[in-house]
Amino acid sequence: MSTTAPIRRTTTPQIRARKGGDPIVSLTSYHAHTAAIVDKYADFILVGDSLGMVMHGMDSTVGVPLDLMIMHGRAVVRGTKRALIVVDMPFGSYEESPNMAFRNAATVMKETGCGAIKLEGGARMAETIHFLVQRGIPVMAHIGLTPQSSHVMGGFKTQGRDEDTWDAHIADAVAVAQAGAFAVVVEGVVEPLADKITAAVEIPTIGIGASRNCDGQILVLEDMLGLNPWVPKFVKKYGALGPMIEQAVSDYAGEVRDRSFPGDDQVYR
């Protein structure tokens, strides 16, 4: 009889309880195999709609459909055992009404097995967040630079450079927290504003291009691994897989062309 305790996934209340405690570790993932690696170290994994740009060559996240998020969400859930899995709600799947948001969010949770969803927007989405939470959908909010609104913002622009805007960003954070979000991603805001947001709310702030004083941090996995030739300023490259992959492909192509691959060890006798 096995005495090994079963592995239990991190829950949204556990993430919520980390406010002001040990920093929360998070990365994005879109595949079962990378998710299995990240799962050993991350408290939650975000299946971000950034997959549209990272994996599918889109210019923005706006064109990502719901079924694509569901497909990648399933893969990440299959590849993991312990991290909370959060799936992004793509543009157009939740903004129209709380009822529409619930239908789509419920579909995502049922079809992927994820533990929560994330949606963008501050005070304007508070009613929807409250509606979802009251009906059993855990919600992670996302404020500051919201990529799905990049066309309105005029691109991917750092938020809060004008101190006159700070009150509005802080109000966004307070609104989503009061609506019932268990955590909030704070993206692309100046550091002192991120610090004020973190101090203003009783839920964890997850920084990306924000501040080390946020309650946790998140990066796009492919960015920090060095798979993308260009990354935002806030990304630290912890690897250089892009050049490594290119060298491996180059070596393979050369060996195929000079007929040294396959060698004796790669054929059946």
CATH 3.20.20.60 maps onto the chain at 12-238
Q: Hey, which residues does 139 pair with through a beta bridge? A: 117
Binding residue numbers for 3-methyl-2-oxobutanoate: 49-50, 88, 118
What is the C-alpha to C-alpha distance for residues 205 and 198, in angstroms, rounded to an integer?
6
Supply the pLDDT for residue 225: 97
Q: How many CA atoms lie within 13 A of 5 on its CB side?
A: 4
- The pLDDT of residue 3 is 64
Query: For 78-89, b where at least 16 C-beta lie within 10 A, e where not — what string?
Result: ebbeebbbbbbb
Q: Which CATH number fits domain 12-238: 3.20.20.60, 3.40.140.10, 3.40.720.10, 1.10.3720.10?
A: 3.20.20.60
Using only C-alpha atoms, what is the Rg of the chain? 20
- Strand extents, DSSP E, 183-247: 183-187, 205-208, 216-219
User: Binding site: residue ranges?
Assistant: 49-50, 88, 118, 120
What residues are labeled active site? 187
pLDDT tens string, the chain, 269 residues long: the values are 656 677 899 999 999 999 999 999 999 999 999 999 999 999 999 999 999 999 999 988 999 999 999 999 999 999 999 999 999 999 999 999 999 999 999 999 999 999 999 999 999 999 999 999 999 999 999 999 998 876 566 666 899 899 999 999 999 999 999 999 999 999 999 999 999 999 999 999 999 999 999 999 999 999 999 998 889 999 999 999 999 999 999 999 999 999 999 999 999 98
Annotation: binding site for Mg(2+): 49, 88, 120
The position carrying tokens 């005029």 is: 154
205-208/183-187 β-pairing? parallel
